[in-house]
Structure 1
Amino acid sequence: MSAGGGTKAIVAALLANLGIATTKFVAFLLTKSSSMLAESIHSLADSGNQALLLFGGKRAKREATPEHPFGFGRERYVYAFLVSIVLFTVGGAFALYEGIHKIQDPHPIDSWQWVPVAVLVVAIGMEGFSFRTAIAESNHTRGDASWVAFVRHAKAPELPVVLLEDLAALVGLVLALFGVGMTLLTDDGIWDGIGTVSIGALLIVVALILAVETKSLLLGEAASPEALARIEDALNAEPEVERIIHMKTLHLGPEELLVAAKIAVRATDTAADVARAIDSAERRIRAAEPTARVIYLEPDIYSASHPGRAGSAASSPGH
């Protein structure tokens, strides 16, 4: 997933949310609708989330240091996780609180009754544009995967985060429109509160999904099955490599993969032969999988009669 595509979707969402948050808050000041207040806070929280994603993307580009020899690529995961926390607390929890308060003390919309409906219709159009941009950018890298699989398995967090945020925003706007519309039709403010509580529940569910997915990335995920297959094929294509004894991969960032493998070489090979084989294998891996930036290959002698001797998970690094 290219950083450029993710940045384009984030900027589109940020501009849309800033404009929407302003118009929603003006509508709340005029009508005192709890749905409009919840939606304005929601859009403001989303704007902050997009700013966090942009900031995380910028910090992740810093050069490696002696203290952080593998760089800062995983900072993008940290800020994506912060987005889920902000969405849960600022968006979902606030909407629940405001909605429950409105249900306990309902009051109709007595003035500027057309304003919230007009604002919500315009907001749906603006959020739809943002959502469409995120879908278009995601389609460049999604391939044949389903949307659920794309969100679950994407190694770059920005587009899945923006997709879920925009989807939640669109559904939230529909819920707000329902609450406001029913309040205007029945002259009963409890519908406004119900719409607000529904928005809060929706945001909390989305925040939990984001938290689970980004937590997995933070803990460290292996390469995708497709990337693993390309790396294995590259190693097996090296004439001097008899077999892969075992291999492990870890994403240091969305576009940076660590590959560590123990490979079997012939017992008759000289040290120079082994060194040339490793250099050639590394070139093959990088050509097959460009995200493989950090590669460690350990040569060993494979014994068919004792396959566990070399390459067992418990073997020491210097074996």
Structure 2
Amino acid sequence: MAGHAGSKRVIYAALAGNLAIALTKFAAALFTGSSAMLSEGVHSLVDTGALLLYGMHRAARPADHTHPLGHGRELYFWSFIVALLVFALGAGVSFYEGIIHIMTPEPVVNAKVNYVVLALSFLFEGSSWLVALKEFRRQKGRQGWLEAVRRSKDPSVYTVLFEDSAALLGLMVAFAGILSAELLEIPELDGLGSIGIAIILGATAIFLARESKGLLLGEPASPEVQRKVLAIAGQDPAVQQANGILSVHIGPEEIVAGLSIEFEDHLTAPDIEACVERLEARLKEEMPQITRLFVKPQATGTWELRRRAIAEAAGED
């Protein structure tokens, strides 16, 4: 729950003031005729923190007869929609505006208005970025930045971080485009700034979509989590050997795990059932993220054959 609280805090920080910033940018674009400022207004308008909050709300619903494993992947779905929106609305509109402004250039008037709006936007976006950065650094621990993103099962924090990073870069590009267009008296440079913003948003959207796709298709629990589950299973006196584990994330803190266990030969069916109940109770206490546990009695040799078959199939892909 602490992780969800941190994620929501990051999203609320990103949403704070974004609508006001978007309206201010649109007003400045209308007043000055700047294409780059219009692109920045669109970027702020498509800020998708609200969709992430909606996804978190939907994902928190309990399991039912149509979704027996829960609704955790709703967050992953809405994260993917966020990436599509950033690409289609943010990058698409910015690129279109840039092309139009290059083909039919118009000089920027009252450029100082744009500079004031850009400075205020940078201040607010920077504050949101710092909140997201602090939370992401807390979550990543000693991992590298890209490694932490790839291994993260909670897209809400790094999505906001990358969006805010793209926003800050976009503000710099918009400033450069407007300033160069004014100083050099080449209005096409303002349109070029819009295209630069489109490239930044497009690259961000592609990266986020790639990460969301992996989560939607199903990613396993981290090696540390898998080792801990196997260690707990192996400590039970009824277990001769915990062969291996197949796991998949249904949500950031929801893991479905299947254990292959070789039980002691003398055990009866009630003994095995009691062992499984003990394992479920201990995992619920020590690893609450394991929301579903399935145990398959299996000889070590059988598990090894299955593991090799899975590894070979993954290698062919």
TM range (shorter): over 0.9
Aligned to 1:312: 306
Task: Give the AA of the match of 1:90.
Answer: L
Q: What are the Cα deviations for residues 61-118 of structure 1, in whole angstroms up to 9, with x where unaligned?
A: 11211111111111000100000000000000111111111112222113x2210011
**1:106 partner SS:** coil
SS in 2 for 1:2: helix
Specify which structure has the higher proportion of helix. 2
Aligned to 2:123: 125
Out of 276, 279, 286, the position equivalent to 1:278 is: 276
Distance 1:182 1:123, change over 3 A: same
User: What is the aligned partner in structure 1 of residue 160 from structure 2?
Assistant: 162
Deviation string for 1:253-277 (max 9, x for gaps)?
1111001112001111122221222
Alignment of 1:231-310 (within 5 A): 231-300=229-298, 302=299, 307-308=301-302
Deviation of 1:310 after TM superposition, in Å, equals 8.1
Q: Name segments (4+ residues, structure 1) moved above 6 Å.
A: none
Q: CA deviation at 1:196?
A: 0.6
Question: Which residue in the other structure is 1:205 paired with?
Answer: 203
Match of 2:31, as an amino acid? L
1:81 matched to 2:75? The reply is no
The alignment yields a C-alpha RMSD, in angstroms, of 1.8
* Alpha-carbon distance between aligned partners in 2 of 1:264 and 1:272, rounded to the nearest angstrom: 15
Maintained 8 Å contact 1:38/1:94: yes
| Residues 109 and 187 in structure 1, CA contact (< 8 A), matched pair in contact too | no
SS in 2 for 1:242: strand
Q: Distance in 1 between matches of 2:221 and 2:19?
A: 36
Counterpart in 1 of 2:313? none
The residue aligned with 1:317 is none
Q: Does 1:36 align with 2:42?
A: no
Paired amino acid for 1:312: R
| CA 1:41–1:280: 2 relative to 1, 3 Å | same
Worse overlay, 255-264 or 10-19: 10-19
Deviations 1:137-192 (A, max 9, x none): 22332211122122221101100110110000000000000001111211211110
Query: What is aligned with 1:150?
Result: 148
Which letter maps to 2:5? G
- Unaligned residue ranges in structure 1 (runs of 5+): 315-319
Looking at structure 2, the residues matched to 34 and 259 of structure 1 have their Cα atoms a distance apart, in angstroms, of: 52
Q: Within 2, Cα distance between the matches of 1:224 and 1:299?
A: 23
Shift of 1:309: 7.3
Contact 1:245 1:311 in 2 (8 A): no
| Aligned-partner Cα distance in 1 for 2:84–2:226 | 32
**Counterpart-to-counterpart distance in 1, 2:306 and 2:196:** 52
Partner secondary structure for residue 267 of structure 1: coil
Distance in 1 (CA, whole Å) between partners of 2:123 and 2:148 is: 25
Deviation at 1:204, TM superposition (A): 0.5
The question of whether the paired residues in 1 share the 8 Å contact of 2:233 and 2:242 is answered with yes
Contact 1:16-1:127 within 8 A present in 2 as well: no
TM-score by length of 2: 0.93
CA–CA distance in structure 1, aligned partners of residues 237 and 19 of structure 2? 58
Question: For the residues of structure 1 that align with 2:212 and 2:55, how far apart are their CA atoms?
Answer: 13
Structure 2 match to 1:54: 53
Q: How far is the alpha carbon of 1:21 from its aligned partner?
A: 0.6
TM superposition shift of 1:286: 3.0
Alignment of 1:92 with 2:102, yes or no, is: no
CA distance in 1, matches of 2:116, 2:261: 65
Separation in structure 1 between the aligned mates of residue 267 and residue 54 of structure 2, nearest angstrom:
50
C-alpha contact (below 8 Å) 2:177/2:189 kept by paired residues? yes
Q: Which moved more, 1:285-294 or 1:129-138?
A: 285-294
Residue 186 of structure 1 pairs with residue 187 of structure 2: no
- State which drifts further: 32-41 or 275-284: 275-284
What's the % identity of the aligned pairs?
36
Q: What TM-score results when the alignment is normalised by the length of structure 1?
A: 0.92
